[in-house]
Structure 1
Amino acid sequence: MSNSDLQRWLDSAQGRYVLDWEQARFDTAVADVFGFNALQIGLPQFDFLHSNRIALRQTAGPCSGVDVRCDFTALPFTAQSIDLIVLPHVLEFSSDPHQILREIERVLIPEGQVIITGFNPLSLWGVKRYLKRHGDFPWNGSYLAAARLKDWLKLLGFEVDRGSFGCYVPPLEQQQWLRRLYFMEKAGRRWWNFSGGVYLLRAIKRVHGMRLITPNWRKKMVRAKALRPIAQKGCNKETQ
């Protein structure tokens, strides 16, 4: 994927349509995640972490304009050091998506979260990709079905917490047609939810045998001690 192809698509009506939907979903998904370190891998042109309140938020990737320049398959972070990772449209354009997920599992802390977006092959966008598989971005990727990605995550010990689909309007290039057919968003969410052009999945890293210790806020009832009369010396003596 060349930077020129990517930027051209991001500036198009299609690109804005997809990224607007994803920005809104990322804002909601990251708002309630806390910790010390958050990382965005891919698409540094957009700040998908700006609604998160973690102090240290970084971007990483092989291109310029990132905080940490690195390969997606070899993240230069110590094990169990990241609380939150967002991964926008990286897996379907990588030659080794399994290794990327393994690296994410390695650097996430226990109970850390990863939020992933991808193009859905079971949609009108997936049909167009099948017809234009040798075209420019985003049609040159290997789209992953959400169910398949869930299986990969489960094998790595993740628990998929939530997911959503969006962008039900056909992948048209003219802004006016995207607006005219926008009613399909509501209809798609209601009638054919799984067939949105893109999806977002949020997963939590679970560690086998780990148990979180939380404060016991339940107040214990303290049993009142029975009062016993104290015998007083001389009380029963008859006065002379």
Structure 2
Amino acid sequence: MDSAASEKSIIALDRWLQSPAGAYVRAWEQACLDELTVDIFGFNAVQIGVPQIDALAANRMPNKWQAATRTSTADELVYAATGKQIAVALDFADLPFASQSLDLVVLPHVLEFAAEPHQVLREVERVLIPEGQVIICGFNPASLWGVRQGMGRITSSDYLPAAGEFISMPRLKDWLKLLNLGVTRSHFGCYAPPFRTAQWLNRFAFVEGAGQRWWPYLGAVYMVHAIKRVKGMRIIGPAWNKKTSKAPQAVPAANRNEHYK
């Protein structure tokens, strides 16, 4: 998938997110992101893609940006109205940020629609400071929605955007591990069957709690929270924990013998 195809697929995702199923996903992801980001501190945070979700709404960092593959006059007006700063990344595989300059990066459904998902992750690792954090949202292929999507490709009746290459959570964790991005938390949500209407999705709202309890790994959407680990770094305690006075040292036996002589 080249860059042009990648941008078209992201446009298709933008349109899908306006559907009833897309609204269902956006509501769950917004609530989960608010919970995850509210206690992440630092100075600089970036959300890449999916402007329909304000992934940094609950975060309190002083500098927060939205990065996207493209902008339009309408988008600029929306962000200007909300007071959000805008940063435009024309290519997610080559982020326009300095190395080790960001405390938090959020990737809502970027990897599965990117031309080079591995390169996107490498870029994220590059721009994160040591102990910087990344949050990734994705569609779960091991879910009812994933099964429905597989059947739809056979019958030419896709449920999710057709161009997406959905990544399983174990596979994503392996990619993160190779980049020393250690996963700390993971979440699954959206357990309703793959209906197209809001009426039927609402009727099955009761399965959300049941799914969390009985089949937690089968949610249609997952969220992964990881931290950039740097080998050789360790937290040093405050200086006042060290003892200022040293205990008297014992005199070696050989020295004592020489003294008495």
TM-score by length of 2: 0.80
Structure 2 gaps of 5+ residues are 1-7, 76-85, 246-261
Q: How far apart, in 2, do the equivalents of 1:221 and 1:177 lie?
A: 70
Aligned to 1:158, which of 174, 181, 185?
A: 181
Q: Contact 1:128–1:139 (CA<8 Å) still a contact in 2? A: no
Please report the RMSD computed on the Cα atoms of aligned residues, expressed in angstroms.
2.1
Q: Contact 1:116–1:200 (CA<8 Å) still a contact in 2? A: yes
| Alignment match, 2:191 | 168
Shift in alpha-carbon separation, 1:158–1:91, aligned structure 2, 3 A: same
Q: How far apart, in 1, do the equivalents of 2:108 and 2:14 lie?
A: 15
Aligned letter for 1:185? E
| Alignment match, 1:48 | 55
| Alignment match, 1:116 | 136
After superposition, where does 1:171-210 map in structure 2 within 5 Å?
171-210=194-233
Count of residue correspondences: 223
Structure with max Cα Rg: 1
Q: How far apart, in 2, do the equivalents of 1:2 and 1:147 lie?
A: 24
Aligned to 2:26, which of 4, 10, 19?
A: 19
Q: How far apart, in 1, do the equivalents of 2:125 and 2:11 lie?
A: 31
Question: Identical aligned pairs, as a percentage?
Answer: 55
Secondary structure, aligned partner of 1:132:
helix
Shift in alpha-carbon separation, 1:30–1:169, aligned structure 2, 3 A: same
Q: Contact 2:100–2:126 (CA<8 Å) still a contact in 1? A: yes
Q: How far apart, in 1, do the equivalents of 2:19 and 2:204 lie?
A: 17
Shift in alpha-carbon separation, 1:168–1:216, aligned structure 2, 3 A: farther
Question: How far did 1:95 drift?
Answer: 2.0
Higher helix share: 2
Structure 1 gaps of 5+ residues are 223-240
| Alignment match, 1:94 | 114
